[in-house]
Structure 1
Amino acid sequence: MSLERKFANGVAWMSAGSWIEQAINFAVFALLARLLGVEAFGILAMAAAFVLLLEFLVRESVSEILLTNDALSTERLNSVFWLMVVFGFGLAGLLLVASGPIADFYKEEQVAPLIIALSPTVPMIALTAVPVALLRREMQFRALALRAVAGVIAGGVVGIGMALSGFGVWSLAGQRVTQVAVNVVMAWAAVSWRPGLHISSTHVREVLHFGHRMVGLRAAELVAVQMPSVIIGASLGPTQAGLYSIAWRVIEIASFLVTTPLRMVTLPAIGNVMRQGAAAPKLLQDIMRMTGLVVFPAFAGLAVLAEPALTVLFGPKWVPAAPVLSIMCLFGVYLCIDKVQQTYCLAAGRVGVLATLAWCEVALGIVLIYFAIPFGLTASAIAFVAAFLLMWPLRFRNLASIAGVHTASLISPHVAPLILAAIMASGVYVVSRQMADVSGIVVLLAGTVFGLVLFAGLAFLCLRDRLELLRSFVRPQTEAPENSA
């Protein structure tokens, strides 16, 4: 099977799995939001800010070395696995020790037991890091998609059942632990490899050299996206933290739907191209040209329709989060584009500068949010997004240096879809203003359909080459059979 066909199949499976997973997850989330209310989500956001940070450190950090352009060996696999086990259980122990001080910091007693209840997910995810990396390297995305869907269904059943039984915020903890447990079982069932004790000091050193940079990068990324919840929760209280949490959750789901299929497939695809000595920068640029067709119109439309979207999905009590959601859509654009571009640096094993830039974003974000907090939630969201947009040009420059191309060649493909998305958003805004007295669901549906039709028409007129590129990946041409002698 050609790389294009593998890439298309991988994106198809990951898209189906991710979209079904998020559709179920979003439905469960919306129902739980109605059942539990703002304060419960605010308290969970306080506890989950630290648990999710450590989960992400073990999910996509040390094990990413298995997706680079290096060859695999039994010693390397065993080295990665046992280092992940030690890392995962060590982080879980850190959570247990820190749960009390974290609760004191928030002045919320429920935070400590919630952190303790959620802490097992960290070593559980560490145990699946190698099987998941192997499935990604071999581009076996069907198994990953089925695993994700099964986990979110099981977690949803447990979470809703607990909420209806009166467990309150503990329903959210039960949902998460169940989801991860199912993911663990299905990941190991999908691979034949099993860990052994045969490791080498050379591989351990290589893994540690790569791993500490990846951990630094992932830690910075998670601190960056969780720090607003921490600062807002400590400064403005659980209600404001809940409003921010709901806006971030929408952005997280939207970016997950767009980015995850591409990111999960792009990294092993670029790694394969590099191992074959082919032109990996061209593949990256083609993928980014296609990404812009989805990212810019999706978040531009969401920014304009933030209020009816929140009303329909979560109810009128969440409408105060609409300005924050509109602002956070800019971060959604950044997140989607940067995550896909980042895969090239990871495949090349060049992580150090990425980690440095990520920590600079954290420092800048903390400073800007600190000065914005006295002006309220919306000002804090603006400060958060500004930190990333100010640092973004440096990320483009770093990628250009690694890929050996001009920075302008990475930025210019985004100009046209950005302009078309702005035109589309203006049209959607005009249409939605004309429907001010209509119910939220009608405004949401009408605005979405109008935006899709308008952007599709603009893309057909102005970006036909990208539509053809997309078609070539979705339906790659098969090679003509050789003539028999």
Structure 2
Amino acid sequence: MSKQHLSLKEKTAHGLLWGGLNNGFQQLLNLFFGIWLSRILNVEDYGIIGVLTIFTLIATTLQESGFTQAIANKEKPTHHDFNAIFWCSSSIGISLYIILFFAAPYIAQFFQIPELTSVARFLFIGFVLSSLGTAHNAYLFKYLMVKERAISMLTGLTISGIVGVTLAYNGFAYWGLAAQHITYILCTNSLFWYFSRWKPSWNFNLKPIKELLPFSSRILITKICIHINNHIFNILLGRLYSKTEVGYYSQSNKWNLMGSSIITEMIQGVAQPVLRNVVSDKDRQKRVLIKLFRFTAFTSFPALFGLAYIAPEFISIALTEKWLKSAYILQILCIGGAFIPLNHLLGNFIISRGKSSIYMWNTIALGLTQLTSALLLYPYGVHTMVSTSVGIQILWTVIWTLFAYKEIHFTLFNLFRETLPYLTAIVVSITLSHYCLVNFENIYLLFFSKIISVGFLYILILIIFRASILKESYNFAKTYFLKTAKNKTH
């Protein structure tokens, strides 16, 4: 049976399966190469690249311009739609590179880091490379070709990781991180071209952009705000503190975003297309949203709270003692990170309803609130700034729910019913594990004992209280694999 003939439920299962495998293996590769690079490089090396992260993310978002989500919301996109995206995105990418090439010395002057000029000009080449694959990525996303996107990203991560570690090991310092970034973009987008059934033509008709622009422009602004929210501290610390402080925060934030993105990307790869397919039936869309929300909470809370629990041991073992100061920051960030996938899911729901303006303004409000709190609290230290930002992130889950209620009556009761059981289960599991292992002194034994005990206790608690998600997940996987095996025999 071809993918085109799968039911919506089967497509969701297929997407979640490959999305989960993709993000799981992605983070394992990021973990492997991240540990190697962290051991080779020093805190200042990460600080230099860290202050440029926000520029690369915002510029990449500008060249993508929200076209991926916009085309996913279009019922039957044509060749001309994808072709217009290709030429528009490419033009923006090239223009941005030219602008930022000449702006690089001023960026270096702002942060008082002379090395940034040459590094920025090299790193910003990624804008041009990624712009050439925007339309192809949009094609794969629209048609739920999650497997093909997974292969592309995993291949890119592997090759780029090898390049980064090799250069860092041979003394190229922060240039290894920069080269890793460029290599990943080049490999991934090359494979997007290979897997996409669509290819560009020499037709410069940009009329479809006018149709997509009202929706895509709001997605664009929203994504920029999200990147600012995630990386604003790199800019503030780079300006107000030292490269060392940026390095510690950048390292902590990297692992936090890596943990939350496992869940976020897995859900995001299917949420908007699937929710869009049932947009005409509010009751069915609500049921789909609740199931996705339950699954997100079930996976997000143990992943991020678990990472917070093992942070000191993980940092000491994997990255060595020189990074230990980042462990406490990581613990704080992970608490807020557990709610990021939930917020993203609700945001994707709002997009599926065609309300990109709500998505945009709510994200802008979140960003402005976090930025204001950071500017007011920076004299009190990094930990105070980060803790307040995390509190705001958690509060915003409630605000997203209020918007969802206006659309399909997804209530605060639904929010608490689908999150509190898993939040309670993981907090109880970590508490019991902590008191059982309090006398363990061997750091390696403590590290693995924490992981095993929390995982066991979390599942045990859900079994005792007969959590429906366990049966749903089992039946979900069983049905999918049985049908896949049956299709192969035919």
* Range into which the TM-score falls when normalised by the shorter chain: over 0.9
Pairwise CA distance, 1:372: 2.3
Q: Does 1:398 align with 2:403?
A: yes
Q: CA deviation at 1:198?
A: 4.7
Residue of structure 1 in register with 2:456 after alignment = 453
Paired position in structure 2 for 1:134: 139
Q: Deviations over 1:143-168 (max 9, x none)?
A: 11111111011101211111122111
> d(CA) in 2 for partners of 1:85 and 1:427?
54
Query: 1:69 offset after TM fit, Å?
Result: 5.0
The Cα RMSD (Å) is 2.2
> Is the contact made by 2:65 and 2:216 (CA closer than 8 Å) also made in structure 1?
no
Contact 1:80/1:207 (CA < 8 Å) preserved in 2?
Answer: no
Q: 1:113 aligns with which of 118, 125, 144?
A: 118
Q: Paired residue for 1:78? A: 83
- Aligned equivalent of 1:476: 479
Distance 1:3 1:142, change over 3 A: same
Q: Partner of 2:442: helix, strand, or coil?
A: coil
2:242 is the alignment partner of 1:237: yes
1:335 aligns with 340
Tell me which residue corresponds to 2:201: 196
Q: What is the CA-CA distance between 1:277 and the residue it aligns to?
A: 8.6
What letter is aligned with 2:30? N
CA–CA distance in structure 2, aligned partners of residues 403 and 111 of structure 1: 49
User: Residue 63 and residue 87 in structure 1: after superposition, are their counterparts in 2 closer, same or farther (change >3 A)?
Assistant: farther
Partner deviation per Cα, 1:25-71 (whole Å, 9 max, x = no partner): 22111111111111101111012221123224445722211111522
Aligned pairs for 1:279-428 within 5 A: 279-428=284-433
How much identity, in percent, do the aligned residues show? Answer: 19
Question: For residues 159-238 of structure 1, what are the structure 2 equivalents within 5 Å?
Answer: 159-198=164-203, 203-238=208-243
Equivalent in the alignment of 1:442: 445
The change in CA–CA distance for 1:97 and 1:275 in structure 2 (over 3 A counts) is: farther
Verify the 8 A CA contact 1:4 1:476 in the aligned structure 2. Answer: no
- For residue 41 of structure 1, the aligned residue among 42, 46, 66 is 46
Whether the aligned pair in 1 keeps the contact of 2:43 and 2:244 (CA below 8 Å) is yes
Q: Tell me, what secondary structure is at the counterpart of 1:268?
A: helix
Does the Cα contact within 8 Å between 2:68 and 2:141 map onto a contact in 1? Answer: no
Q: Are the aligned partners of 2:401 and 2:411 in contact in 1 as well (CA < 8 Å)?
A: no
- The whole-number CA distance in structure 2 between the counterparts of 1:65 and 1:182 is 25
Structure 2 counterpart of 1:374, one-letter code: P
d(CA) in 1 for partners of 2:217, 2:260: 26
Which of residues 465, 468, 474 is equivalent to 1:465? 468
* TM superposition shift of 1:391: 3.3
1:476 aligned counterpart, secondary structure: helix
> For 2:61 and 2:327, how far apart are their aligned partners in 1?
28
The structural deviation recorded for 1:307 is 0.6
Q: Aligned partners of 1:390 and 1:452: how far apart in 2?
A: 27
SS in 2 for 1:433: coil
- CA distance in structure 1 between the partners assigned to 2:442 and 2:41 by the alignment: 28
Gaps in structure 2 of 5+ consecutive residues: 1-5, 484-490
Partner amino acid for 1:11? L
SS of 1:102's partner is helix
Inter-CA distance 359–425: structure 2 relative to 1 (3 Å threshold): same
Counterparts of 1:353 and 1:281 in 2: how far apart (Å)?
18
- Does the residue aligned with 2:171 lie in a helix, a strand or coil? coil
Distance in 2, matches of 1:292 and 1:203, equals: 38
Whether the 8 Å CA contact 1:304–1:425 is kept in 2: the answer is yes
Task: Answer whether contact 1:290 1:469 (CA < 8 A) is retained.
Answer: no
- The equivalent of 1:482 in structure 2 is none
Q: Is contact 1:151-1:179 (8 Å) kept?
A: yes
Q: Is the 8 A contact 1:69 1:275 kept in 2?
A: no
The one-letter code sitting in structure 2 at the alignment partner of 1:20 is: F
Per-residue deviation, 1:122:
1.5
Task: Please say which of residues 371-380 and 243-252 is displaced more in the overlay.
Answer: 371-380
Distance in 1, Cα, partners of 2:414 & 2:282 = 21
Following superposition, the deviation at residue 98 of structure 1 comes to 2.7
C-alpha deviation, 1:386, in angstroms: 2.6
* TM-score of the pair, normalised by structure 2: 0.92
Does the residue aligned with 2:77 lie in a helix, a strand or coil?
coil
Q: How does 1:45-56 map to 2 (within 5 A)?
A: 45-56=50-61
Rate the CA distance shift 1:90–1:349 in 2: closer, same or farther, 3 A: farther
Go from structure 1 to structure 2 and tell me whether the alpha carbon gap of 1:397 and 1:274 turns closer, same or farther (over 3 Å shift): same
Q: How many pairs align?
A: 478
Q: Distance in 2 between matches of 1:413 and 1:5?
A: 23
